[in-house]
Amino acid sequence: MKLLKLFHHQNTILAPFERANDVIYIPALSDLKSIDSAHQASAIGLRAILQRYAEGGRLRLNSEIFHQAKTGTNVWRFSKGRVRLYCFLDDWRLVILSHSVIKKQQATDKADIDSVLKLQAAYQRDKQLGNLEFCEVQDVDGCSELVYWLRK
């Protein structure tokens, strides 16, 4: 599994990515790039939230902004407005982003939980096999748009 380091300080925010035909696809952020204008400010606000987590972990965020998406699981959620960014944690220092959605209902959609758990299982398998590849944004061709988003 290839993981892109989005933010790194005391904690590291990672996002799995794939390359197809010289196009970088980052599931966790792809929906944020095409979000409608009504939710754009929330999507941009998530960038600052991720940076704060990287700098100081959970203690820098209140439970409305970062909380467990489903009790008893390692599925977590960053929230800003109606935008949700799902993830899981590896030893509290690594945050692996899964995907983003616009909240449409009060309850968390089971498909969102299942998606994170599936990614977590793949991550753990690749970790045990030594198949995790950590990449810096500036070292991956085709990430210029992502670099712009991260530094806006």
Domain of residue 106: give its range.
2-151
pLDDT score at 1: 94
In contact, 127 and 91? CB cutoff 8 Å: no
pLDDT score at 55: 94
pLDDT score at 148: 52
How far is residue 127's CA from residue 121's CA, in Å, rounded to a whole number? 10
Q: Nearest-CA neighbor of 86 among 38, 36, 31? A: 31
pLDDT score at 25: 81
pLDDT score at 151: 56
pLDDT score at 147: 54
The CATH number of residue 129's host domain is: 3.30.2310.20
Into how many domains does the chain fold?
A: 1
pLDDT score at 127: 96
pLDDT score at 115: 95
In the chain the first and final C-alpha atoms are separated, in Å, by 28
Q: Nearest-CA neighbor of 73 among 103, 110, 105, 101? A: 110
pLDDT score at 126: 97
* pLDDT values of the chain reduced to their tens digit, one per residue, 152 residues: 999 999 999 999 999 988 877 777 888 887 776 677 777 788 888 889 999 999 999 888 999 999 999 999 999 999 999 899 999 999 889 999 999 888 877 778 899 999 999 999 999 999 999 999 998 877 666 665 565 556 55
User: Any idea how long the chain is?
Assistant: 152
Q: Is pTM, for the whole model, over 0.85?
A: yes
Q: What is the amino acid identity at position 82?
A: R
User: Would strands 94-102 and 12-16 be described as parallel, antiparallel, or unpaired?
Assistant: parallel
What 3 state SS string does the chain have? CEEEEEEECCCEEEEECEEECCEEECHHHHHHHCCCHHHHHHHHHHHHHHHHHHHHHHHHCCCCCEEECCCCCCCEEEEECCEEEEEEEECCCEEEEEEEEECCCCCCCHHHHHHHHHHHHHHHHHHHHCCCEEEEHHHCCCCHHHHHHHHC
